Amino acid sequence: MIIVNNEEALRVKCENVLPEEIGQLIEQLERELKYSADVGRPGIGLAAPQIGIAKNVAIVRSGKYKIDLVNCNISKAFDQAVFDQEGCLSFPGRSERTNRFQEINIINNAVEPYSFIATGLLAVVCQHELNHLDGILLSDVAIKQKIINSGNNNKKVQPNDKCPCLSQKKYKKCCGYGL
């Protein structure tokens, strides 16, 4: 069963997966992802810590794409951009605005290491699942909007507003980290 709304249980550092564990863990993740979709909570990816297993394995399933992330790391990342509405099966109904890379090179250290490139939505999902393997949650990578205190009215800084740090730059080009 997928762990829901329990940050403490999800903030675990994972151990590498042994070759003999890979098949069983992938099958278990696939069953849980399918069950989640069957009960009305579809998702694209799932990491082992989300089902209570502290192992470096996650899956991504989207249409014709079937990616198994086993003992992985990102070796290169390109084109950072804002991704709106990133969600997580462990925090149903919640979505966040995040900074993610649009293209990543992943080294998959399964039985025989190999690398591949993920782009677009698949890159975002892979980064999300790999974050889970390091105990990093969606709330940790969410873009925090600054609040401008203007007298009695507090308002969120919009991307094209001048940055509250008084740099005279647009917020998105300054403290908004490239919004």
Q: Cβ neighbours of residue 170 under 8 Å, at least 6 residues apart?
A: 159, 160, 161, 162, 163, 176
> What pLDDT score was predicted for residue 154?
56
CA distances from 123 to 98, 128, 145, 146 (A): 13, 9, 24, 27
Instruction: Tell whether the model's pLDDT for residue 175 goes beyond 90.
Output: no
Which residues in the chain belong to E strands, given as ranges? Answer: 45-47, 57-62, 65-70, 73-87, 95-108, 114-119, 147-150, 153-156
**Per-residue confidence at 166, pLDDT binned at 50, 70, 90?**
low
Instruction: Tell whether the model's pLDDT for residue 13 goes beyond 70.
Output: yes
* Active-site residue list: 129
Spans of all domains in the chain: 7-141, 146-179
Instruction: Tell whether the model's pLDDT for residue 59 goes beyond 80.
Output: yes
Stated pTM of the model:
0.80
Instruction: Tell whether the model's pLDDT for residue 20 goes beyond 60.
Output: yes
Pick 7-141's CATH classification: 1.25.40.20, 3.90.45.10, 3.30.420.40, 3.30.750.200: 3.90.45.10
Distance, first Cα to last Cα, the chain: 36
Instruction: Tell whether the model's pLDDT for residue 152 goes beyond 80.
Output: no
